[in-house]
Structure 1
Amino acid sequence: MNSSHPHFQLGNTSALAAVQIDSLVKEFKPTRDFAQKNPEKINERGTVSAIDGLSLTAHRGEVCVLLGANGAGKTTTLACAQGLQKPTSGTVQLLGENPWGASPELRARVGIMLQDGGLPQAMRPIPLLKHISSMYQNPLKVDEIAERLGIHSFNGTTIRRLSGGQKQRVALAAALMGRPEVLFLDEPSAGLDPQSRNVVFEIIREQKEKGVGIILTTHLLDDAQRLADDVYIVDAGTVVRHGSVQELLAGEDSNHKRLTFTLADKLNTQRLTDRLGSDVTLIHLSDHHYALEGQLSPGVIAQLGAELEQQNLMPVSLELSQRTLEDVFLEISGRDIQ
C-alpha cells in the first residue's frame, strides 16, 4: 500500500453540523418469541425501545466516535442518521436535512462504510469501484484510491472470497469515492494488518483536515482513543457518557492512575491489599501480572516496594499510566459479555 499520496479534494463545506440528533426514540414491534422471553423489555405500547431519547452532535472537521456494547443501540442510531430507518420520535438532521426519504443530492454528499457487507459479492473490487465512480459528478480516481489502499493486489478475486480486512479496504474506497462531506465508518480498521491500519488512519486524518464530518463506530478502543475528537458512550439506547477523550479519561478525578507490574513469582495479594487504602485497587490480571489502580501517590508506590521487599519479589517490569478509554468503557458497560 502506498501512503505517499496527494490529499483528496473535497467540495464546499460550511459551519453546519454534520449530524444533529435530538431526543431520538426508535421502537420496534417484537417477535412473539422475543416478547415471551423478555417481557420486562416490552413497554405499554407493546413495543421495544431500541433508542430511548438519545441526543448527539457530530461536527464537521471532527471524528465523532460512538461506543457501546452489543445491543446498546449504536447500529439503530446510525441507521436513523443515515436515513435507513424512520425514527419513532425525535429529530435527525444530516447536513441540515431530514435523512429519511433524502434526495439523491443529499445522499451524494454522504459516504457510508458498512462492516457487514453491502457490497455485490460476485463483483471484483476495481470494476465495482469504477461502477460506483460512474454515479458521481466529481469522483475520486479509481486507480489512485485503489493504489492507496492496496486493492490492485487482490483485484482478481471476487468480493465474496476476500478476507475481512480486504473487504474493509474496498468498503472504505467505496465510501470515499464521491468525496463525501459526511463519512460513516463502521469498524474501519477491523481485520487490517498494521501497515493497512496506518494508511486508513492517515486517510481518516486527511478527511478530517478537509472538514469532513466523520462518525465512527469500533470495538477497538485503542483506535477510538487514537482517532476521536468526541466520544459518545451508549447504553440501553441512551447516551451515558459524552466528552473528549481527555475529558473521559480524567473523569471526576485526574489523579486516577494505573500501575501495571509483572513479577517473577506469585504475589501474596492479601498482604499487599492490607497495606493499601480504600482509594487503591489491586487487580490480578493474569499469572504474575498485576495492576494497582486508583489514587496512586508516592506513598502507595513505597508501600508496594516495601511489600515486594518483604516477599523477596523483584519486578520484571513496571509501567505507570493514566487509565485508558477501554477502562472507562468497561466501568460504564461492565466486564461481562453481553
Structure 2
Amino acid sequence: MTTAIEVTDLRKEYGDKAAVDGLSLSIRTGEVFALLGPNGAGKSTTVEILEGFRKRTSGDVSVLGHDPAHASREWRERVGFMLQSTSDQMLLTPREAITHMGRLYPNPKPTDELLDAVGLKEKADVKPRTLSGGMRRRLDVALALVGSPELVFLDEPTTGFDPEARRHFWALIESLKDAGITVLLTTHYLDEAEHLADRIAIINDGQLAALDTPAGLRAKAIDSVVTWTENGTQRRTVTPTPTATLRELLAATEGEVADLAVTKPSLEDVYLEIIGGNE
C-alpha cells in the first residue's frame, strides 16, 4: 500500500515553545485519516505545514511525494483544501464560485454535480451571505473538491451542520473513499471520527498520544461499567473484570437483576483519558 503523507520527527517552535514536538506519522493512500486533539494541541499547525501554508522548524514531510514547503502549481492541483472560512466573505453565488474556482484546475468536477453532492442545488444562485453557516460550510467543501483532488484536507467540515446535513456529508466522504481519494479530517465530533475514519491520531501537547483504528482505540479501555437497580436505587461499578462482577452480583441476588447492563467506555471516554482532560 502506498503512502500519501509521511511525517518524520516534525517540529514547529515559536520561541521556546514547541507547538509540534517530534511528531511522526504515516497516512496511506485512499484512507480517511482523522486528526484529533484539544485546542492548542498542535493539530492545526501540523495540518497547515502539510498544506504548505506554514513553515516547519525541522523534520521531514512528504505529501504526495513532495515537500509542501516547496510546492509547485502541479502539486497544488492534486490537493484540495478546506479552510475554516473560505466562503464567508465571498460575493459570488455558489454556482459562480464553484465555476470560477474550477477554471483554475485542469480537470474540474462539473459544477452541478458538486452542488448536488453537497446539498446546495436549490441554493445555487443565492449570495453566500444569505446562506446559513452550515450551508456556507457545504460550499467550502465543494470548493475543496472542485479540482478533482487526490488528497483533500477537511478542517472541521461539519461545524454548524444540522444532524441531517452531517449524515449527507458523511455519505459524501464515503464516496470520496470509494473513489480512492485520501482524506485528512480534523474534527471535534468523536462520533464523526469513529464513523468515517479508517484510523485516528490523537495529538496532545504537540506529540502523538495515540494512533489506531477506532476499534483499536476503544479496546485500550481496560475497565467496563456495570449498572443495575437495587431496591429502587441505581447502582454502578467500574471494573476490569465484568464477568466476575456479574457472577458476584447474581449470586447475591434472588431472581432477576433489574436494569442490568454492561458497557465498555466509548471512544469519547478513551479520548478524554488519553488527553488527560485537557479538552
1:324 aligns with 2:275: no
SS at match of 1:84: coil
Bigger CA radius of gyration: 1
Q: Could you say if the C-alpha distance between residues 168 and 260 of structure 1 is closer, same or farther in structure 2, counting changes exceeding 3 Å? A: farther
Q: Could you tell me how far apart the structure 2 residues matched to 1:157 and 1:259 are?
A: 53
1:179 counterpart residue number: 148
2:224 counterpart residue number: 257
1:60 counterpart residue number: 29
* 8 A contact 1:16–1:96 mirrored in 2: no
Deviation digits for residues 90-147 of structure 1 (CA, Å, limit 9, x no counterpart): 0111101010131110001001112x20224332221111111111111111111102
After superposition, where does 1:1-338 map in structure 2 within 5 Å? 16-29=2-15, 47-114=16-83, 116-119=84-87, 120-251=89-220, 253=222, 256-259=223-226, 266-267=233-234, 282=237, 292=238, 294-297=240-243, 299-304=244-249, 314-315=258-259, 319-335=261-277, 338=279
Q: Could you say if the C-alpha distance between residues 175 and 302 of structure 1 is closer, same or farther in structure 2, counting changes exceeding 3 Å? A: same
Q: Could you say if the C-alpha distance between residues 69 and 167 of structure 1 is closer, same or farther in structure 2, counting changes exceeding 3 Å? A: same
Deviation digits for residues 136-162 of structure 1 (CA, Å, limit 9, x no counterpart): 111111111102222133335432343
Q: Could you tell me how far apart the structure 1 residues matched to 2:139 and 2:117 are?
A: 11
Q: Could you tell me how far apart the structure 1 residues matched to 2:42 and 2:246 are?
A: 41
Q: Could you say if the C-alpha distance between residues 264 and 80 of structure 1 is closer, same or farther in structure 2, counting changes exceeding 3 Å? A: farther
Q: Could you say if the C-alpha distance between residues 205 and 319 of structure 1 is closer, same or farther in structure 2, counting changes exceeding 3 Å? A: farther
* 8 A contact 1:58–1:214 mirrored in 2: no
SS at match of 1:18: strand
* 8 A contact 2:221–2:265 mirrored in 1: no
Matched positions, count? 278
Q: Could you tell me how far apart the structure 1 residues matched to 2:75 and 2:82 are?
A: 16
Q: Could you tell me how far apart the structure 2 residues matched to 1:186 and 1:139 are?
A: 21
SS at match of 1:137: coil
Give the TM-score, by structure 2 length: 0.89
Q: Could you say if the C-alpha distance between residues 223 and 304 of structure 1 is closer, same or farther in structure 2, counting changes exceeding 3 Å? A: farther
Deviation digits for residues 245-294 of structure 1 (CA, Å, limit 9, x no counterpart): 222221275xx434456899554x6xx7xxxxxxxxx3xxxxxxxxx454
* 8 A contact 1:16–1:95 mirrored in 2: no
Q: Could you tell me how far apart the structure 1 residues matched to 2:96 and 2:230 are?
A: 55
* 8 A contact 2:118–2:172 mirrored in 1: no
SS at match of 1:100: helix
RMSD between aligned alpha carbons? 2.7
* 8 A contact 2:117–2:172 mirrored in 1: no
* 8 A contact 1:264–1:314 mirrored in 2: no
Q: Could you tell me how far apart the structure 1 residues matched to 2:75 and 2:231 are?
A: 61
Deviation digits for residues 4-40 of structure 1 (CA, Å, limit 9, x no counterpart): xxxxxxxxxxx541111110000124xxxxxxxxxxx
Q: Could you say if the C-alpha distance between residues 251 and 141 of structure 1 is closer, same or farther in structure 2, counting changes exceeding 3 Å? A: same
SS at match of 1:122: coil
Q: Which runs of 5+ in 1 are unaligned?
A: 1-14, 30-46, 273-281, 283-291
Q: Could you tell me how far apart the structure 2 residues matched to 1:79 and 1:70 are?
A: 15
Deviation digits for residues 199-219 of structure 1 (CA, Å, limit 9, x no counterpart): 221221221122211111111
Deviation digits for residues 75-100 of structure 1 (CA, Å, limit 9, x no counterpart): 00000000000110001111010101
